Amino acid sequence: MSTVLAIDAGQTGIKVRVGGQDLVFPGIDTHEELLPQLAAVVRAALDRTGAETSVVTAGVSGLTTREADAAALLARIDDPLVSEVTLAHDSTTSFLGALGDTRGAVVAAGTGVVTLAVGATAVARVDGWGYLMGDAGSGYWIGREALDAVMREFDGRGPATALTGVALERWPDLTQAYIDLQGDHERVRVVASFAEQVARLAAEGDAVSQHITVRAGGELAHSVETALRRVRTDDAEHFSVCAIGGVFRSPQLREAFASHIAASEFDVALVEPRGHGIDGAVALAGLGPRHPLAPAVWSARR
């Protein structure tokens, strides 16, 4: 029986759901072409599961208009049974997975971060502009702030922090850390990996880690408020807000985020996600043409 092969493609990992099975593959390599990577994942998933599918859907981290060539991906998959491909930015699939048809905003913060708000008639995306130009409050942003704090202490420009000990475990000679990091093909993931240590040390009372954590929560809340302001049609309109992704595992960050949202001008309720990004990728297959998110989806059929 034909089924949907759904992909939730992030920088940390790629999840695939097909034939009742969930598979995990290495994350997107942002230094390589996207479509060949996605096609390889599709073929590998079909080979491993033996599933027959006619529809491939994908929510992709950092998807650009140039990369969103569903017809090109369909051709690269080159499977006689696959007749349809649908692509969307992962902000779209994160929203569908977390809130479904509810009006509101979803902020998805892992290595990167993107916020998407959906109102009665409008959709607003905030951030998701990558580690060089945006992703405020993301795992990378937190890790970058942590390393900045380490080098400030090293120079005498900033206060002492337990983060220095974490950095020394990786780079015993801190004067060479920046050289090693700049030459590391995995540097984005390396930097983002420090976010977990920031969360741990914040919970243990490190003041610098706590400051970074609170600022990250504020940045993420600011993105949500900005997105909601762009889709609101009535001051009394109620919105659901859902916060997903690894950075929200930090209790202090989540508390800072919730505090900012509660103090905002909006009638909002923080809610738990109904599902995950992979569930949103599955939902792409049934997204109607009149849904507010439909213009943000690229499809090809044969």
For 237, the 3-state DSSP assignment is coil
- Residue in 289, 287, 226, 291 with CA at minimum distance from that of residue 59: 287
Q: pLDDT band for 1, please (50, 70, 90 cuts).
A: very low
**Any idea which architecture 3-90+277-301 has in CATH?**
2-Layer Sandwich (3.30)
Determine the average pLDDT of the residues in 66-78: 94
Report the alpha-carbon distance of residue 81 to residue 79 in Å, rounded. Answer: 5
Domain edges within the chain? 3-90+277-301, 101-273
Other C-beta atoms closer than 10 Å to the C-beta of 284 total: 24
Q: pLDDT band for 47, please (50, 70, 90 cuts).
A: very high
236 vs 217: which has the higher pLDDT: 217
- 39 pLDDT exceeds 80? yes
Other C-beta atoms closer than 10 Å to the C-beta of 72 total: 16
The domain defined by 101-273 folds into Nucleotidyltransferase; domain 5 (3.30.420)
Report the alpha-carbon distance of residue 249 to residue 123 in Å, rounded. Answer: 27
Q: pLDDT band for 214, please (50, 70, 90 cuts).
A: very high
Do the beta carbons of residue 35 and residue 86 sit within 8 Å? no
Which pLDDT score, from 0 to 100, does residue 2 have? 59
- 216 pLDDT exceeds 80? yes
Which pLDDT score, from 0 to 100, does residue 137 have? 98
- 61 pLDDT exceeds 90? no
pLDDT digits 0-9 by tens, 237-256: 999 999 999 999 999 999 99
Do the beta carbons of residue 280 and residue 118 sit within 8 Å? no
Asked whether this chain's domains 3-90+277-301 and 101-273 adopt the same fold, the reply is yes
pLDDT digits 0-9 by tens, 120-175: 889 999 998 999 999 999 999 999 999 999 999 999 999 999 999 999 999 999 99
pTM of the predicted protein model: 0.82
Q: pLDDT band for 42, please (50, 70, 90 cuts).
A: very high
- What are the φ/ψ torsions at residue 236 (nearest 5 degrees)? -95, 5
Percent of the chain whose pLDDT exceeds 90: 80
